[in-house]
Chain A
Amino acid sequence: MVRPGRLLAGLLAGCLLPVGMLGGLSGGAAAAGGGDPARFTVALLNEVDSFNPFLGIEVESYEMWALTYDYLVDFSTEDLSLQPSLATDWESSDDGLEWRFTIRDDVTWSDGEPLTADDLAFTYSRVLGKGPESATWKSWLAGVTEVEAPDDTTLVMSLSRPNSVLPMVPIPIVPQHVWSEVSGEAMKSFAAEPTDGAPVVGSGPFRLVEGTAGGSTYRFEANPDYWNGAPHVDEVVFRVFKSEDPAVQALVKGEVDFVEGISALQVDSLEGRDGVLAQNADTPGFDEISFNAGSVDLETGEPIGDPNPAVLDPEFRFAVGLALDRQQLVDTVYQGAGRPGSTIVPPGYATFHWEPPAEDLAHDPERAAALLDEAGYTVGADGLRTLPDGSPLGTLRLFARSDSATSTKVMAYFKEWLADLGIESEVTTVESSKLTDIILAGEFDAFEWGWFVDADPTSMLSYMTCDQRGNWSDSWYCDDEYDALFEAQGSELDPEVRAEQVKTMQETLFRDAPYLVTAYNTTGQAVRSDRFACLLQQPAETGQWIFQQGTHTYRSIRPAAEAGDCDGATSATEAAAAGDEEGPGAGLLVGAGGLVVLLVAGVAVLVVRRRGTAEDRE
């Protein structure tokens, strides 16, 4: 029998020695510049779920498609205004039933084929069809009956009714000569990933050369012939970290150049460091407390579930909203990294955002109590409020999501504020998927959740319509005037008139209060500014550096040593003075070697001691 002692020493030495030797050979990533390729490495906190733009849903996947493909139009970094992209020019007929786009003629696919209007017609036609493509994107082409390309640079859309979302169609354009061979059945599991070194055929600023859905590394090479200017880095690499702390540690160590999705606490910890730039960036979304505004059986119109009569009353909901201390939520729950919320269209979308009067957003418990009294919810002998008919109001059932610390904390505050008004409630914490079931059954009074809002607010506005009850509507809100306005703005071709309609809709929602918008969230991002400069924010000053509408940062970013003035981009980040990077070198070897020696020596001592004691015993 092998003596365990000796076996162990051999094992330890065998394991650790090569590691020690290796330690000297490879340190962190080489600093960009010099003869090495400039590689921008980004830590993501979630995998790409599909590189096929007709299948994926994760925000990370959208980012990959944007690097690989082009779109009909683009959005500026400054204020997300519309910019030409594949379409240089567009016009619609007076009745809005025909749109003509002029398509660029200087774009080539990565395999050398020219990109023409046919590729756009092909992509949109697939979406209008029946397969998984349409399950994903069809709503964006609402009213479109046919898309044709009369010649290489002209695209014509025919519509049965006007569609005000046009030309803002966020569908990536895929090459017809590759995708026409994918049948509807095959599309269900078509990966669109690189195989054996052949990159994915796309027209975007970068080319995917390595990566699989659900994998942990995605590598892109720059497209030197990009029609909108070649990128200034050679490679962009994404590495998936499954938790925040190691990702931040990797940034500090220099294994990655960029981290995203980190907490305000992490941003604080990074802010003082040399060579690191960190920020809490505005995200295009909001968090809200949603009430059950009237769950019904959609077939019969009969009420389902068991909402408290109070939450069905818009006056009650609006009054309760005045008891919210949004600033306190931002300061405590959001650790200061957020803004008090107001409506379902975030202020970043300045064209469409409606700002309620300050007094209606204020934390005003006295006014809340007065409004409740006025509406008949008076305080009974036991100090608790009653329903207008005099019966006890009972206990409101509030739900928080177990996968979100924010959700549970916000609901804890909400419970307190309700108690201050004389309303009892209990908070139950459940998983998101379970909450979805509860919402669909109508067995709740209120819950906490949030939404991301697209550059065009149509999708968010649609979730509050009667048609979406039982589908995406989670508040069961239904209001005929609101629905009429939704239809009208969807066909309104005058942008100013449409903006007014969208603002009116927000006001309606604010007064009826199916949602109490609690906060506009931010997300933490940080970059090694001693290595890379010229990152752009979208919108300017407050927005994110990556996960934008478009690929602005990836195209403008430069190695710090060659940044210069970033081609005059005013809002770009500047290079930090490169600090002394602790290059792992001789010290590391000595350290690792020392560790190994220590361990082996320790084991040896044990072995020797064991022999000794054994002999003593004999």
Chain B
Amino acid sequence: MTLAASAAGPEGALAAPPRARRSRGGYGRYAGGKVLGSLGSLAFVLVVNFFLFRVLPGDPARTLGRGRFSSPEQLEQFNAAYGLDEPLPQQFLTYLGNTLSGDLGISLRYRVPVADLLVDRIGPTLLLVGTSTLLAALVGMWLGVRSAWARGQRFDRLSTGASLTLYSMPEWWLGLLLIATLAVGFGPVPGLFPTGGLHSVDVDPWSPGGVLDVARHLTLPVLTLTLAYLADYALVMRSSLLDELGSDYLTTARAKGLRDQAVRNRHAVPNALLPATTVIALNFGFVVAGAITVETVFSIPGLGLLATEALEIPDYWVLQGAFLVASVGVILANLLANLLYGVLDPRVRT
């Protein structure tokens, strides 16, 4: 779902050159501008959303009806029942009205309201991708800081090498590897985790036992994604800290007699965090888009998988709903990154 990314680029993520002229309005004005920009992106997405999927090849009535004993009249009946026989402009107006009033339509494949489907699917996705992104960010940044500080030493070589290796592995393959070892067991080691799914049969995921059950089911998929995402954060953090290493203020800090650790954690890291903030914020925008391959391998009923399968039909309303949710996620994350930047780096408020 990288389409969503093009809808809103990380405008504020690039620090503007400081200007001599005093900015008028300060942070409030800056934030207001960013919010308006986001609203504009949202309006754009609303319109594009409808037409984007109408150009897909295929005809839902035919895809869904193949192999079924039916006449041309029955196809027409299907199209009439689900509003597919109306002229496109009229369908567009209906869509706009419905979307703005919160009605996302009925899925052509599952014949249930799209909103219900999205609500069911977004939980697992947020849990899986959200947890993985958070873990990968924390661990990755820690690795990045350590590597940069010990540049060229064994730890640096090891962690950079390992994270790059994991980064270049296909996620599904890593996932299958983990299933074959940690879920099925090998040699004397028994299988520790389930092979897939979100929770065991007839376990209420909201009960205390159910929460632990879900945690067990999510361990391997989260591990897979975390390992795959690590390099992203580790390398960004490492390179931006390396950029800071030669700065004068670090020399000053050292000259003051501060301990090495204090120099690193209080002086270098906060400044090096800026680029990492952008990466994290943007990646969190993509959390709702799901992780299609990992959702497939571990049979986790998430949003990514729902959207991918909807493409085959094409199930217009499911695609529109999923795309809308994903776009809103990215736009919001972008807005947050911009607002945060304004706080972290006053130079951008011009």
Whether, in the assembled complex, B266 has its beta carbon less than 8 Å from a beta carbon of chain A, the answer is: yes
Quote the shortest CB–CB distance from A4 to chain B (angstroms).
Answer: 4
User: Cβ of B56 and Cβ of A253 under 8 Å apart?
Assistant: no
Whether, in the assembled complex, B75 has its beta carbon less than 8 Å from a beta carbon of chain A, the answer is: yes
Q: Which residue of B lies closest to A218 (CB)?
A: B201
User: Cβ of A253 and Cβ of B195 under 8 Å apart?
Assistant: yes
Q: With A188-B81, A213-B110 in contact, is A241–B191 under 8 Å at CB?
A: no
A210–B202 CA distance with the chains assembled, in angstroms: 9
A482–B141 CA distance with the chains assembled, in angstroms: 71
Instruction: List residues of chain B with CB within 8 A of the CB of A210.
Output: 202
User: Cβ of A454 and Cβ of B69 under 8 Å apart?
Assistant: yes
Quote the shortest CB–CB distance from A438 to chain B (angstroms).
Answer: 9
User: Cβ of A217 and Cβ of B120 under 8 Å apart?
Assistant: no
A458–B68 CA distance with the chains assembled, in angstroms: 11
Whether, in the assembled complex, B190 has its beta carbon less than 8 Å from a beta carbon of chain A, the answer is: yes
Whether, in the assembled complex, A138 has its beta carbon less than 8 Å from a beta carbon of chain B, the answer is: yes
Whether, in the assembled complex, B219 has its beta carbon less than 8 Å from a beta carbon of chain A, the answer is: yes
User: Cβ of B57 and Cβ of A437 under 8 Å apart?
Assistant: yes
User: Cβ of A246 and Cβ of B58 under 8 Å apart?
Assistant: no
User: Cβ of B120 and Cβ of A433 under 8 Å apart?
Assistant: no
Whether, in the assembled complex, B192 has its beta carbon less than 8 Å from a beta carbon of chain A, the answer is: yes
Residue among B70, B74, B192 with the highest chain A CB neighbour number at 10 A: B70
User: Cβ of B112 and Cβ of A592 under 8 Å apart?
Assistant: no
User: Cβ of B179 and Cβ of A216 under 8 Å apart?
Assistant: no
User: Cβ of B141 and Cβ of A246 under 8 Å apart?
Assistant: no
Stretch from A118-126, A128-136, A361-369, A564-572 at the B interface: A128-136
Q: Looking at the complex, which one of B74, B184, B190, B212 makes contact with A135 (CB distance below 8 Å)? A: B74
Quote the shortest CB–CB distance from B325 to chain A (angstroms).
Answer: 16
Give the number of residues in B that approach A within 8 Å (Cβ atoms).
80
User: Cβ of A242 and Cβ of B305 under 8 Å apart?
Assistant: yes
A238-254 at interface with B (beta carbon < 8 Å): 239-243, 245-247, 249-250, 252-253
User: Cβ of A471 and Cβ of B72 under 8 Å apart?
Assistant: yes
Q: Looking at the complex, which one of B59, B106, B142 makes contact with A8 (CB distance below 8 Å)? A: B142
Whether, in the assembled complex, B77 has its beta carbon less than 8 Å from a beta carbon of chain A, the answer is: yes
Give the number of residues in A that approach B within 8 Å (Cβ atoms).
86
B229-285 at interface with A (beta carbon < 8 Å): 259-261, 265-266, 269
Stretch from A15-23, A302-310, A389-397, A494-502 at the B interface: A15-23
User: Cβ of B312 and Cβ of A432 under 8 Å apart?
Assistant: yes
Instruction: List residues of chain B with CB within 8 A of the CB of A471.
Output: 71-72, 75
A579-618 at interface with B (beta carbon < 8 Å): 582, 584, 587-588, 591-592, 595, 610, 613-614, 617-618
Stretch from B14-22, B42-50, B291-299, B336-344 at the A interface: B291-299
Quote the shortest CB–CB distance from A502 to chain B (angstroms).
Answer: 15
Q: Which residue of A lies closest to B313 (CB)?
A: A433
Quote the shortest CB–CB distance from B317 to chain A (angstroms).
Answer: 11
User: Cβ of B110 and Cβ of A214 under 8 Å apart?
Assistant: yes
User: Cβ of B111 and Cβ of A243 under 8 Å apart?
Assistant: no
A87–B63 CA distance with the chains assembled, in angstroms: 34
Whether, in the assembled complex, B200 has its beta carbon less than 8 Å from a beta carbon of chain A, the answer is: yes
Residue among A5, A249, A252 with the highest chain B CB neighbour number at 10 A: A249
> Shortest 3 CB-CB distances between A and B: which pairs?
A433-B58, A459-B69, A4-B142
Q: Which residues of A contact B (CB under 8 A)?
A: 1, 3-5, 7-8, 11, 15, 18-19, 22-23, 26, 28, 39, 41, 49-50, 52, 55-57, 130-132, 134-136, 138-140, 188-191, 210, 212-217, 219, 237, 239-243, 245-247, 249-250, 252-253, 255, 403, 431-434, 436-437, 451-452, 454, 458-459, 462, 467, 470-472, 582, 584, 587-588, 591-592, 595, 610, 613-614, 617-618
Contacts A/B (CB < 8 Å), 18 sampled? A1-B265, A7-B138, A26-B200, A139-B74, A140-B69, A213-B112, A216-B197, A217-B197, A239-B201, A241-B197, A242-B299, A246-B196, A249-B195, A252-B184, A432-B58, A433-B63, A588-B190, A591-B189
